[in-house]
Amino acid sequence: MFLDKDDDMSVIETFAHDYDCHFFLEGDQPALPFYSVPAVDIVARDSQAGYICLAADKVLYVNSDHAAFEIAESWDAFLSNPHDWQKRLVPYDDMRLYPSKEAAEKDIQFFDLDEWTKQQ
């Protein structure tokens, strides 16, 4: 999920300046230093080399040590109360982080859904 360059830039700048939440604009796809299971959508970064992510209904934070934390129960909850989000981090154990997809494949079994549906 990326913000459109037509979105209200004043809101984007406020989040960056006031809350250290720097949204990725469309076309600014970052090269991520981790692979997550389940997959997440990266929406922003902070000044500490961490990433703000969406997974299912939750808003998560992955820090520079590749530890995951829950920020908010929903995107709306995060946007309506971004103040001090860094102080509200709760460890999140329902996501595994790996240095790469290859490392994840050594630990868990991946299924090729296209191949699986052909066999059904």
| pLDDT at position 6 over 70 | no
| Residue 12 burial (C-beta neighbours within 10 Å; 0-12, 13-18, 19+) | middle
Query: Strand pairing partners for 61?
Result: 52, 69
Write out pLDDT tens, residues 68-83.
999 999 999 999 999 9
Q: How many Cβ atoms are within 10 Å of 87's Cβ, its own excluded?
A: 6
CA-derived radius of gyration, the chain: 16
Share of the chain above pLDDT 90, in %: 66
The model scores a pTM over 0.85: no
Return the domain boundaries, the chain: 8-118
Q: What is the pLDDT of residue 83?
A: 92
Q: What is the pLDDT of residue 5?
A: 57
Q: How many Cβ atoms are within 10 Å of 75's Cβ, its own excluded?
A: 15
Q: What is the pLDDT of residue 87?
A: 95
Work out the mean pLDDT of the chain and round it to a whole number: 88
Q: What is the pLDDT of residue 109?
A: 85
